[in-house]
């Protein structure tokens, strides 16, 4: 679908001015069809070293010396937020539902974020430390459990290596961003790590295309996967399910679970339901993100501003917003409405599919700003071919989306 969408808009984009179409196939697959800036990119790569990507949560969880909850300010290194939650749960023998956190942070990074647990007098916070992975750097009492969304944003410190360290290029790009805004696309990591296909899984779930769901989850081979994973998928496609199951790496636990149930001849819908509502909703949310990306790309293609309102725009926090589609979504009017309706039509979509009772999925929808909110962006040379960026992003915004305007290459791989 993305090829049809992309090709149909390149010609009209040429008349808009300085926006550029991407030539990166992965970005096209994820709906990231355009750059808003016209400058050359500096190239480069991020995450060459774990220290190259640092993020610190910006939240105000107030101290209360008599509070019923304990805040753990944790620095995690090269592990997921879920890893930390499972670790705390295991140490305390505590159901994870009692562990609070405000948001998920990058795994391939050094990240500082807050977690909350029920307060007890005899808790020794040092027992949560894992050398090189998890360290409690502060602990204090508070009155309320931390919940998702209880943060303002995140501070980033990112080193770009093997790049053209041109301060002039960076300054030119930043000038354009300050005037034009930056597309608030959902970033690459929203769609997976090596396969980048979570949105396709969500699409097949919603449309009840269960065979296509299994094709995407189990059988299809992607170029960046490990040789072992590729071999397992090939075996599965050849009907050698037991061999594929036995060889499948443990970290691909979803595929292993599905293969095991296939071997036991469970019906497709029962296999899918066994994955759990939270995982299925994760896939659906990824498809919503893809649809939003297409809407932002269409807005750019039509030459409409990201940081100023146009006819029919929804407003969120004083900024233009587009719907994250769900079964209760209201569609905007005017130019903004045409964008949404075009995406829905191109995807052959009906909003009712977001209420899938058979799988227990009810996704109402919401709004998201079309302009990425960044502040205090600074940069400096840190070597012959390296640049360091410092900036703040509003919660829900992706650092990689801001950086792609400067790099204009596959810097995230």
Catalytic residues: 106
End-to-end CA distance of the chain: 24
Residue 104's nearest CA partner among 383, 395, 412 is: 395
Instruction: Please state the length of the chain.
Output: 413
Strand partners, 85: none
Question: What is the per-residue DSSP string for 55-99?
Answer: EEEE------TT-SEEEEEEEEESS-HHHHHHHHHHHHT--GGG-
- Whose CA is closest to 5, among 410, 303, 404, 342? 342
Burial classification of residue 15, based on how many CB atoms lie within 10 Å of its CB (0-12 exposed, 13-18 middle, 19 or more buried): exposed
Helices (H), 72-215: 81-92, 167-180, 198-206, 210-214
Rounded distance between C-alpha atoms, residue 138 and residue 210, angstroms:
47
Q: Residues 117, 69: contact at Cβ < 8 Å?
A: yes
Contact 371, 181 (CB under 8 A): yes
How far apart (Å, rounded) are the C-alpha atoms in residues 294 and 30? 8
d(CA 120, CA 118): 7
CA gap 123, 69 in Å, rounded: 12
Neighbours of 89 (CB within 10 A): 16
Q: Give the C-alpha separation, 359 to 204, whole Å.
A: 12
Instruction: Give the DSSP H/E element, type plus range, for residue 407.
Output: helix 399-407
What are 132's two structure tokens? 């090189």
Running DSSP on this structure, what letter comes out for residue 185? P
């Amino acid at each position: 679908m993305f090829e049809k969408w992309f090709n149909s808009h390149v010609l009209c984009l040429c008349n808009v001015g300085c926006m550029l179409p991407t030539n990166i196939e992965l970005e096209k697959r994820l709906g990231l069809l355009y750059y808003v800036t016209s400058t050359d990119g500096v190239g480069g790569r991020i995450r060459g070293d774990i220290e190259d990507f640092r993020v610190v949560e910006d939240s105000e969880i107030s101290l209360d010396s008599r509070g019923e909850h304990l805040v753990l300010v944790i620095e995690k290194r090269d592990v997921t937020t879920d890893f930390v939650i499972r670790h705390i749960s295991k140490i305390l023998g505590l159901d994870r539902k009692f562990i609070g956190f405000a948001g998920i942070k990058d795994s391939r990074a050094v990240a500082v974020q807050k977690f909350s647990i029920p307060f007890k007098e005899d808790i020794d916070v040092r027992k949560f430390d894992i050398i090189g992975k998890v360290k409690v750097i502060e602990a204090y009492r508070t009155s309320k459990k931390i919940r998702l969304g209880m943060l303002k944003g995140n501070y980033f410190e990112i080193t770009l290596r093997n790049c053209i360290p041109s301060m002039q290029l960076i300054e030119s790009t930043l000038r354009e961003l300050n005037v034009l805004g930056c597309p608030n696309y959902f970033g690459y990591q929203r769609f997976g790590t090596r396969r980048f296909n979570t949105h396709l899984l969500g699409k097949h779930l919603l449309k009840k295309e269960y065979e296509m769901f299994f094709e995407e989850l189990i059988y299809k081979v992607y170029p960046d996967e490990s040789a072992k994973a590729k071999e397992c998928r090939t075996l599965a496609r050849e009907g050698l399910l037991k061999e594929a199951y036995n060889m499948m790496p443990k970290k691909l636990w979803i595929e292993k679970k599905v293969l095991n149930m296939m071997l036991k001849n469970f019906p497709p819908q029962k296999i899918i339901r066994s994955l759990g509502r939270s995982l299925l909703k994760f896939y659906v949310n990824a498809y919503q993100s893809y649809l939003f990306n297409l809407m932002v790309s269409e807005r750019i293609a039509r030459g409409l501003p990201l940081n100023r309102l146009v006819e029919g725009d929804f407003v969120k926090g004083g900024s233009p917003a587009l719907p994250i589609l769900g079964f209760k979504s209201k569609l905007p009017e005017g130019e903004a409405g045409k964008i949404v309706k075009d995406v829905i039509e191109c995807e052959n979509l009906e909003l009712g599919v977001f209420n899938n009772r058979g799988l227990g999925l009810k996704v109402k929808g919401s709004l998201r700003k079309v302009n990425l909110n960044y502040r205090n962006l600074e940069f400096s040379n840190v070597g012959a071919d390296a640049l360091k960026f410092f900036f703040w992003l509003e919660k829900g915004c992706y650092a990689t989306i801001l950086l792609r305007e400067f790099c204009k290459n596959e810097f995230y791989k």
